[in-house]
Structure 1
């Protein structure tokens, strides 16, 4: 392993330790100071790293460590993995169950599930339809908001279904145009670009197609 890759691995381990301690309680100064030193070595100087390296460790209170630990995670764009926060995966699975109602309402059959392919080292989730996963991966952080999760899972489902059927899905019955999943007024909805763009239905509530 190259030195840069090893340093990245160490940084990720430290951030995971800090995140877990912030979540569960019991954060101590060691991982916070160590991460601040590593970031400084990389030339990433922030108010949090400066404070951590300039103040005596003994003067850092529990509140200080919490604040500075949160700042370091935010400044480095940390996002917990599914392994670290299984509830994020559960949230995406629940969103997929809602999207599946639209899949069945439009007459499509076949297994629909959430997967984490071995070839994907990004840590994302993928929607698999009829044994195929294609299109957009879904980052763990998406699972932190139910409606964001719903819109993202709907978008990923749309991508893989259209790849499988070689056609547009779902379709606006009024205009014959494809729909797209969007967040509107903090709700995941299917929107049509026809007639000035309009909402067709909340995700999970597409009307059944006539048989």
Structure 2
């Protein structure tokens, strides 16, 4: 009887020690699990901060792009207005040039009639036409003499100086039209370039995701499996 009671006591102590050992292992497992959870929580918070900073950067980039887009639209509007003004000015200059060319045609016709009349006068009157010194600044052509003769009924409507002035003005108008065409082509090319820039999408910055750490559940499962294997052994 005494031996039996002693055996029961020893068995109870052994079971108690075994139970105490299991509780210690469980506490270690729970401690490791808590460390894993805390570590993952810190990593998640760091990720949240990183994503917040990247979100702010993207918002600032979007604001800059919107401002650039607004400026480009305003600039295109100004360029279009300048282009329309240049086109209107070009049309006016071309109309003036056409008018001057018509005046030049009538002046050439009158000058041709004057030359024919001057050629016919010496043969009819028997007078010899005086020779003018070529290249002399003080020599006056017969057309200018006839133009200065106010009593001549066949006097032309315009003098040679007026012809020169009209020619000079026509050349200036041609130069202005050419410059306007060059400027208009420049503005059109600049407008096309700005439209092409607006059509191109802005580069999208993809945040680089760091590799996801090993799940704490997997670690816990591995630890529990190892503990079970040790117990079976």
- Specify the TM-score bucket, using the shorter chain as the normaliser: under 0.3
Larger helix fraction of residues: 2
Q: Give TM-score scaled by structure 2 length.
A: 0.20
Structure scoring higher RCO (CA < 8 A, sep ≥ 6) equals 2
Choose 1 or 2 for highest CA Rg: 2
Greater share of residues in strand: 1
Query: Structure 1 length as normaliser, TM-score?
Result: 0.21
